[in-house]
Amino acid sequence: MSSRERRAPEGTADLYPGRRASATKGKGLGGDRVPGRRAVRELLVAGKRSVRTVWIAEGQDKNALLDEIVELASASGADVRFVDAERVKTEAHSDGSQGVVAQAAPVQPVALDDLAAQSDAFLVVLDGVTDPRNLGAVLRCAETAGATGAVFPRHRSASLTPAAVKAAAGAIEYLPIALVGGVPGALEQLSRAGVWSVGLDADGKASVYDLAVAEGPVALVLGAEGRGISRLASQRCDVLAAIPRHGHVESLNVAAAAAVACFEVARRRSAIRDQ
């Protein structure tokens, strides 16, 4: 563990109304095509992005969630269109739309400094995760476990494609995301802000079930499929931790590993709050 002195910054940033101008320029993170019933429903409930059009496939069985989507979309002023299933598939730009897709404003990134400034920061940093479905699944796990933000690099990483958005199942509407030039530099920036970084590594000396640093501002670093965390990023981590294995398979995929680690961090933080 690093011996560097840490001091958590005071105050908590308001991540949505007061975004820094530098964080909101450009086209955003993607995510403007939102396929899947759960993802569209959360898009409309959150109300943080304008929704232009919602396409719904005709002839679907009556469903309470579909009825709710129609009601929410109409109330938001979105253009609700009932079309044939092939049109929905075309508009979704992906398979598995569940007969619903929305067109919305892109997700806008927030500044990394804003994420780090929270006294209870719990961040998930993705170091080169390239599979969109894994990206979406990780974001879903992180948001459900109470993470306060996610970080991923501008290059050599999956983006918020329709497949990622569907897999996230609405998590991107609630989980602020910072886009950074590189993960090693981002970890150094987080270190200066008082955030401890824990890299998930199958060969890590520590166990994810014994991380005292998880009780304070912390960033979980998840590596790419296959190669894991990059050398430079692992060198910036304060702790390299492994998920103990009890079977024959050598490792979990990144989404499964994220679920285990995120909920272990959540458990430790909850135990501290309950004391």
Global pTM reads: 0.86
The Cα 206–Cα 139 span in angstroms is 24
The Cα 146–Cα 263 span in angstroms is 9
Q: In angstroms, what CA-CA distances link 198 with 7, 152, 216?
A: 17, 15, 12
Evaluate if residue 48 carries a pLDDT over 80.
yes
Which of the pair, 236 or 248, is modelled with greater confidence? 236
In the chain, what are the domains? Answer: 33-104 (3.30.1330.30), 112-274 (3.40.1280.10)
Evaluate if residue 87 carries a pLDDT over 50.
yes
DSSP state of 118: -
pLDDT band at 17 (very low <50, low <70, confident <90, very high): very low
The Cα 221–Cα 198 span in angstroms is 6
Instruction: Give the pLDDT confidence score for residue 194 in this predicted structure.
Output: 95
